[in-house]
Amino acid sequence: MAAPDLLWQCVKNQSCFIRKQKNFPVMTAEPGNLCGLNNFQFSGLASKKVLGLDSKKVGKKESIVLTTRSKRESRQYRPGVVLVTTGIKKGKKQGPEQLKKIIGATWNRPELLEMALKKYKKIKTSFKKNKTVKK
């Protein structure tokens, strides 16, 4: 696989995922981008270690999904399988625990752990809103 820096240079201005707005930082819709910002740090396309946390709705079921990049060499060229999704528990304690385990303990972007926890909280509150509206 090409070097992350090189890929970033190719992709930072020229990507179908980039979304631009006036007076707003440049954002991306690519999978595996934690903040959705078009940054080398957060890039889901360019880096070897990728971290994404999203909500997923399948029918009525809402789930929180963590996206990481497989480390196996053989998987790097397989677009369908290279990004690994893990469901995150919705329990108040269990969810953050799980995140800490996956991100922090296995050195998979530990610097993003805080941000991931924050996003987790936000996703959870977004689920709550839906429930009250249902009434």
CB nearer another protein, residue 56 or residue 101: 56
Q: Annotate each residue in 55-94 with x if it binds another protein (CB under 8 A) or - if it does not, as one string.
A: ------------------x--xxxxx-x------------
**Residues in 3-22 that interact with another protein by CB under 8 A:** 3-7, 9-11, 14-17
Count the residues of the shown chain that bind another protein, applying the rule CB under 8 A. Answer: 24
CB nearer another protein, residue 45 or residue 116: 45
DSSP the chain: ---HHHHHHHHSSS-TTEE--TTS--EE--TTBSS-B--TTT-TTT-SS-EEEEEEEETTEEEEEEEEE---GGGTT-TTTSEEEEEE--STTHHHHHHIIIIIITTSSGGGHHHHHHHHHHHHHHHHHHHHHH-
Kindly state whether residue 114 participates in binding another protein, applying the rule CB under 8 A. no
* End-to-end C-alpha distance for the chain, whole angstroms: 51
CB nearer another protein, residue 16 or residue 133: 16
Q: Which amino acid is at 67?
A: T
Q: How far is the CB of 45 from another protein (least distance, A)?
A: 4
**Which residues bind to another protein, rule: CB under 8 A?**
1-7, 9-11, 14-17, 30, 45-46, 73, 76-80, 82
